[in-house]
Amino acid sequence: MRIYPTMELQNGRCVTLDKGRLDNAMIWHVDPIETARGWSAAGAEWMQLTDFDAIEGRDTNFGLVEEIIRSAEMPVQLAGGMRSREQVAHWIDKGAGRVVIGTLAARDPNLVKELAKLYPDQIVLAVDVWRGFVMTDGWRSQSAFTPEAFIQAFENTPFAGIVVTDIDSDMEDVEAQLGLIAGLAEKSRTPIIASGVVRTADDISRLAYIPNISGAIVGRALFRKTLGLADALEVAKTAHEPVAQFQ
């Protein structure tokens, strides 16, 4: 299972949000570029970068995002504001290893299917769930899709992965989240990346034993220092290693 250390940007600063509330961000006084390089030095193979300003249609962080992509020393999975073919193409041309698409998939699924074929292994579907339905527009609009139906609609689409976030239990009820994620992973042909579930190394261990979970996004726990990245990577690496049997 792969660990994706995750950085969220707002007005050029690293932040974390409570249930996506953009007006109530926790600011972390760290250098985004040095933080990304530190994650690479610790052994991370990928990172996720989410641009909250882009979700609101602002280009405040574009220069910083480009610099992180250039200097992170690992591939970047970029999320936030991918609302058109042009935006997706722009960031892939700028060097993003993958781009994460959610709202556009709900609005124009045929375009997203086309993009997934055009950019093999570079498009990730975001499935953000609240009260049983997929949310769009930065978690502010409820669609008519259940997560099961949404994933089923893209059954044969060659996504690199599907990021699943249970907003309703975000950072509160791990058991409920694991239940939702495990259920979707069982029905999906595409590997699932779990978001918002990891607080401790034990959470990684539990995720590693759910079939079809390919990765976990870890952000707030790293900034709060309730989990070290090196420890997270080690647990993810060894969770499925065979244990010798006593004779």
Q: What parts of the chain have a pLDDT lower than 70? A: 18-24, 168-176, 240-247
Closest CA to 176 of 186, 187, 185, 167: 167
pLDDT of residue 239: 74
- The answer to whether the predicted template modeling score (pTM) of the entire model surpasses 0.95 is no
Ordered by where they begin, the domains of the chain are 2-238 (3.20.20.70)
pLDDT of residue 243: 44
User: Quick one: tokens of 125?
Assistant: 């579907």
Distance CA 223, CA 216 (A): 16
User: Quick one: tokens of 56?
Assistant: 């609101």
Query: For tokens 């961000």, what's the residue?
Result: 25
Distance CA 245, CA 247 (A): 6
The per-residue pLDDT for range 210-220, each reduced to its tens digit, is: 999 999 999 99
Distance CA 31, CA 78 (A): 18
Distance CA 62, CA 52 (A): 11
Q: How many CB atoms lie within 10 A of CB 93?
A: 8
Which residues belong to the active site? 8, 128
pLDDT of residue 141: 82
